Chains A and B, each alone.
Chain A
Amino acid sequence: MLQRHLSEFLVALYTVFCLGCLSWSADSLVRTLKHTCLYLLSPSLPVISQMETWGTFGRNMSRMIRLDDKYRRNETKWERDKLDELRLAALADENQRLSALLGVSPFPDYSSRASRVLARDANDWFHSILIQKGLRHGVKLSDPVLTVQNERLALVGQVVELYERTCRVLLITDPLSAVSARLSRTGEEGAVEGQGMNRLVMHYLLSDSDVRVGDEVVSAGLGHVFPEGVLLGTVVSVEGGSDESFKRVYLKPAVRISRLQEVLLLSRRSEGK
């Protein structure tokens, strides 16, 4: 009979046992029983702590893998951000330059349009540039080209070749270039020619001219090719003595040709659009 109802017998026995432990949980007998069970299971304590260590190791490994993945993603993002930073800085610079160009209202007789420098002639770095405006933009031959340097208008050159969408500008540093000029301080007039190699020379200053190193030279506007008062350069040296008719004055151009990125094209209002 016991065999037939073994399950029921066991469940009743176990129930009595468990309820007894629960009811008399504070009793010393139950506590002794609990401690006995703890003692019997104590060999598994080191295993528990080892499992916890392995578990911690596993957690640390997975954390390391996640951190490594996060690090790689952050590194890629950082590189992208650095590139974006450089791009932003370049854009900010360009923005500033263009704002300076567009912000000027140089001359009432001229209309102006900004243009990007496309290319330089690799054979004569200081002689000509190609800019992004052409026939279809209303550009004419001999139109003056300026730029803004240190918040001042400076003369770059004039259009010598014209194409549909681009044009070539002869720089003032080219030996073929000549501009009527005036000393800003004394008003004395002369002519500035290019010397190549980023240098200008001013001719026809009288031998008793009061020109000094550091004087600014601006365009005189004679011949109505270039507008008046545009900065050409600064005097760096003076040659010629009293026994000569004229002094030769060497100028450093105001325009940093190698840094030229945007220019301002001027057109006479009666001719321009």
Chain B
Amino acid sequence: MSPWLFGFSSFLVGWALQLVLLGIAFPASATPQWLMLSALALGGMGKTDLAQTLGLLWGLSLDVFGVSLFGSQGFLLMLTGYVAGRASRQLNAEKPATQLTLAFLGSFFFMAGLFVLEYFFRSLTAPRHFSFWTAFFEFALNLALAPLVFLFWRKWLELWSRMEKERAS
């Protein structure tokens, strides 16, 4: 199977699931950062190039449909995937403790990074939005969903590997 097809279908799957999650009502209008967790999961499983590329594309898609600066979320998700990929050599991403730690650090990095980028690159007169409870619930949702996301992407990768093997045989 073409790696391009794999990458494209992975992008679509991630984006589609993000749209599904948008329809679910969570407290304080929080939404789990599914795409950030996906970039972490793919990076954590050693797919560094895939994680950072998909992270960039997902992030740019979020920027296009959102109110954040174009390139901010793309940059952050790309970095998330890269750092997770680099760290995957020292980590066992199959352990729930590792997954939760990655989710926690990734959430913090993402939120802080977004705040910093907004601060430096947004016009000084533009309003800055920050809701403590939204951030709190997003953290909580990310931690709750992290094991599921890791499991999902592991199964997805195994599915593609199986299809590759069947095609090769």
Contact = CB atoms under 8 A, between A and B. Distances in A.
Interface of A: 6-7, 10-11, 14-15, 17-23, 25, 30, 33-34, 37-38, 41, 44, 47-48, 51-52, 54-56, 58-59
A47 B56 contact: no
A23 B86 CA distance: 27
A7 B48 CA distance: 7
Given A41-B65, A51-B20, A54-B23, A22 B49 contact: no
A22 B52 contact: no
Interface of B: 15-16, 19-20, 22-25, 48-49, 52-53, 56, 60-61, 63-65, 69-72, 74-75, 78-79, 82, 85-86, 117, 121
A33 B71 CA distance: 11
B117 A22 contact: yes
Contact of A18 (B15, B56, B65): B56
A19 B75 contact: yes
Contacts of B61: 37, 41
A34 B65 CA distance: 10
8 contacts: A7-B85, A14-B75, A17-B71, A18-B56, A20-B71, A25-B70, A37-B61, A56-B23
A59 B26 CA distance: 10
A52 B23 contact: yes
Contact of A48 (B19, B75, B85): B19
A-side interface mostly = helix
B121 A55 contact: no
A14 B73 CA distance: 12
Contacts of A37: 60-61, 64
Contacts of A33: 70
B-side interface mostly = helix
A11 B69 contact: no
Given A10-B52, A22-B72, A48-B19, 14 more contacts: A14-B74, A18-B72, A19-B71, A21-B71, A23-B121, A25-B69, A34-B63, A37-B61, A37-B64, A41-B61, A47-B19, A48-B65, A52-B23, A56-B23
B75 A7 contact: no
A226 to B, nearest CB: 77
A52 B65 CA distance: 14
A30 B63 CA distance: 12
Contacts of A55: 22-25
Given A10-B52, A44-B15, A18 B64 contact: no
A6 B49 contact: yes
Contacts of B65: 38, 41, 48
A45 to B, nearest CB: 9
B13 to A, nearest CB: 13
A14 B78 contact: yes
Given A25-B70, A52-B22, A7 B78 contact: no
Given A38-B64, A44-B19, A47-B19, A22 B25 contact: no
A54 B21 CA distance: 11
Contacts of A30: 70-71
Nearest to B20: A51
Contacts of B24: 55, 58
Contacts of B70: 21-22, 25, 30, 33-34
B78 A11 contact: yes
Contacts of A41: 61, 64-65
